[in-house]
Structure 1
């Protein structure tokens, strides 16, 4: 039996709730971005001011609100707190809301309980991808590295959630395209790293496999746009820097953020973009 269509306010409330959840996750991601490159535990000790060492009180650790109330300063020593903490929290909240809007199982999209379960599992998978996208982009910008501690477990987490989603909806074809996507993206980036030594780090290669897994699960259009979109966006950014004389031909530019941006372009609009391209070129069947 098809589920009853819920009122629009219900979906709006769910998306808003996941946005608030994203604010909380964003606060945690700030910790991850700081501690993982430093080789520190992300769970212990509790967060503290790096200047005076005073442990941050729970009421000073409320996402967005605490930063605004404290005016971006430590309560104990008045050391400025970077606005990036605020922007990461806000950005993650908006990111989660957009992912919820893209993947939440609206009643018109599902026909039975198995389809509902499949859509929820897919949503969880892409919320996870959103979280690691924020972390990896920031760490790569800061350190020019993509930590194995985040990239490698993402293969397992993504595979488990996406496989459970495909099995729930009895759509095993998605598992095949996800596996092909992961292997093809990994192989492509591996060959590029081998062909142009120093032009691409092996962290990019490993991340490519993760992105290929998620994009392949959605379809071939999302995979193609998501993978090559990263090259297009990164290339345009590099050209802009060269024109503005902010970088030279041998300048090292982190590619991870552009890979992630391209992947999310594929998630958001990969299917329609490929369809439009095939129609314009007369290749559409």
Structure 2
């Protein structure tokens, strides 16, 4: 059953990834994600259903539009495949738990935001706020189903805490962080706070470390300077997804160090499938 659930969820992820591509292409330009139907940006020909199968159609078409032969960016199949893979992994991670819907919504939103930041150095409000609202709604449903209302308080505290820390950094030196990253930190607190505050800490530390290493590596290779902009939202999203998927062992290890005589399961393990 866990494998079957993961397979079905992975297929759902492929379809969600196709929608995320539409959002990444249209939302930064202020366009609707519903209408008109998808069309080739080169010739304007509407994309037929047979040419809109995630990943497969891109390969069968030889990476080009069927009509005008304009190349189709690799971002389309990559985002679809990555969404499917992460959905599959999260279904294995959480199983049939009340946490899974929130994790999937949270991950999908982060992927869309990361793609926008990578392409345009932009974290659109029209993606941040819907992801925040849908994730919070899923967590509210999880609290209602499990009776763990106190975890919503932890979630809210993490959201406010993440926002406050990044807002302070932005206020001290705006060149360090854009305000979009401040909002994103609040979203990370919402998505990870249900599991426990240390998941948020881990995500922020991991994302910041990866961003630092990438920046230093680019400068060492002569491809960037200290003034070069980097899409920090990409690194924060990667840190959050990593914390969601593999943060459990790290958090439990740290909690065992801080309380080696604890016998009960930490908050972060309740109702989560390992």
TM-score, normalising length: structure 2: 0.90
Unpaired segments ≥5 residues, structure 1:
1-9, 106-118
1:25-46 deviation digits (Å, cap 9, x = unpaired): 1111111111111111111111
| Equivalent residue for 1:134, pick from 95, 106, 111 | 111
Name the residue aligned to 2:227. Answer: 250
* CA–CA separation in structure 1 for the residues paired with 2:192 and 2:19: 26
Write out aligned runs for 1:171-186 (5 A): 171-186=148-163
Residues 181 and 223 of structure 1 are in contact (CA less than 8 Å); yes or no, is this contact kept in structure 2? yes
Deviation (angstroms), 1:152: 1.6
Name the residue aligned to 1:205. Answer: 182
Write out aligned runs for 1:71-110 (5 A): 71-105=62-96
Residues 221 and 271 of structure 1 are in contact (CA less than 8 Å); yes or no, is this contact kept in structure 2? no
Instruction: Name the stretch that deviates more: 173-182 or 261-270.
Output: 261-270
Name the residue aligned to 2:47. Answer: 56
Deviation (angstroms), 1:271: 3.4
Write out aligned runs for 1:1-285 (5 A): 10-105=1-96, 119-120=97-98, 122-277=99-254, 284-285=260-261
Deviation (angstroms), 1:177: 0.9
Instruction: Name the stretch that deviates more: 179-188 or 67-76.
Output: 67-76
Deviation (angstroms), 1:279: 5.1
Residues 226 and 266 of structure 1 are in contact (CA less than 8 Å); yes or no, is this contact kept in structure 2? yes
Provide the aligned C-alpha RMSD in A: 1.6
Unpaired segments ≥5 residues, structure 2:
262-274
Q: Which has the larger radius of gyration?
A: 1
Greater RCO, 1 or 2 (C-alpha within 8 Å, sep 6+)? 2
1:129-166 deviation digits (Å, cap 9, x = unpaired): 11111110010011111000010222222222112201
SS of 2:126 mapped into structure 1: helix
TM-score, normalising length: structure 1: 0.87
SS of 1:200 mapped into structure 2: coil
Residues 89 and 245 of structure 2 are in contact (CA less than 8 Å); yes or no, is this contact kept in structure 1? no
Deviation (angstroms), 1:283: 6.0
Count of aligned pairs: 261
Deviation (angstroms), 1:278: 5.5
